[in-house]
Structure 1
């Protein structure tokens, strides 16, 4: 992605978020120098902040995702079973913009439609070797009720609806009938190591520095 496109996507995303009355934390407006300072050590270490990716494919409008990590715990706490074991993100999926099929090794997550269009999800169980099980129905909790999804069936979440995905559940998603603001509440998140994609694609964008960065991405840390 070009840095100029990243700057533009961030501006558009911030306006979309604010249109729902959601106010981002102060560090959302920090300059690159502020984000490089010692004051931001924990923010950088925990991967908080702006995250805009095209999965290295160069077609963000078709294949991409906007994310902002609001809070994230310490991975070391997971092994102790106590402490800050959770994370929270905001995501924006544009209309018909695909977030490709993937699963997580450690992370369990609630995916919540916070407003806008419908959030459409394709969900599969895993085989014992971790590959996609395209033959077996999968049961997932959705707003406190278990639902069964048959292979190839799409789950459509209206604003206010959510689904819980445990580690190993394969999922892809996109918005329909308008851009969608998505909430994610999960266990501690490490996007460097915990994403397994169906296709061999990178998690973060390759950036072409065609202009100055107005802010830093998590990938810049």
Structure 2
């Protein structure tokens, strides 16, 4: 993805989020220079990989295969392993009309996916095979706002604003905006996007970036090169 397109998506996403009464935290608006200056006092931002996350999964087709995310808070794996402390994470996502977030599951993370506003959120579901891979013949059960709902393999569930689904590790899922763009909330256990995603197809989690212009704000995936290496 070109950095200029990423900058545009950030501005568009900020407007979309604000249209539903949400406002991103102050660090969302720091320039790269401010990020570098605050690297000591804001160490938790960098260590938790909080902030902007825009991906085309390395495929170069963001409008068809992509996702906008912003990590608002993220706990510590050590707390989760110890059984107490900051064991949770929260994100805002934007899934555009017919923009696919491809079929995947998580190894560790359980997550509530919540339609916060806009169009319907479509989620396609499969169960796991004994080895954890996606089983085209397996369905399962998910909790939808506290109500158990059985799904057939490949069934697409639709969630209107205010509705949600709880996905457990092993629940294979792909999603998109049905009929329009959707603002999505994600509340989950501790999140590590570098290690906790298993995609059905051999694709990457992060975008490959062409630096055609300077970044307006850094992506979380930029922190290593722009902050930690300086």
**CA offset at residue 40 of structure 1?**
2.3
Partner of 2:74: 72
Partner of 1:21: 21
1:127-146 equivalences under 5 Å are 127-146=129-148
Q: What SS is found at the alignment partner of 1:59?
A: coil
Runs of 4+ in 1 over 4 A off after TM superposition: none
**CA offset at residue 34 of structure 1?**
1.9
Residue-by-residue CA offset, 1:48-67 (whole Å, 9 max, x unaligned) = 00000000000100000000
Aligned mate of 1:183, from 179, 182, 185: 185
CA RMSD of aligned residues (A): 0.7
Distance 2:139 2:121 in 1: 20
Q: What SS is found at the alignment partner of 2:174?
A: strand
Distance 1:133 1:146 in 2: 21
Q: Is the 8 A contact 1:34 1:40 kept in 2?
A: no
Count matched residues: 221
Which is worse superposed, 65-74 or 26-35?
26-35
Partner of 1:216: 218
Distance 2:119 2:35 in 1: 33
Distance 2:35 2:150 in 1: 44
Q: Is the 8 A contact 1:103 1:170 kept in 2?
A: yes
- Listed as ranges, the gaps of 5+ residues in structure 2 are 224-230
Distance 2:138 2:55 in 1: 31
Distance 1:160 1:186 in 2: 17
Q: What SS is found at the alignment partner of 1:220?
A: helix
TM-score, normalised via structure 1 length: 0.98
Q: What SS is found at the alignment partner of 2:116?
A: strand
**CA offset at residue 152 of structure 1?**
2.1
TM-score, normalised via structure 2 length: 0.95
- Listed as ranges, the gaps of 5+ residues in structure 1 are none
Distance 1:78 1:87 in 2: 11
Q: Is the 8 A contact 1:111 1:163 kept in 2?
A: yes
Residue-by-residue CA offset, 1:57-92 (whole Å, 9 max, x unaligned) = 001000000000000001111110000000000000
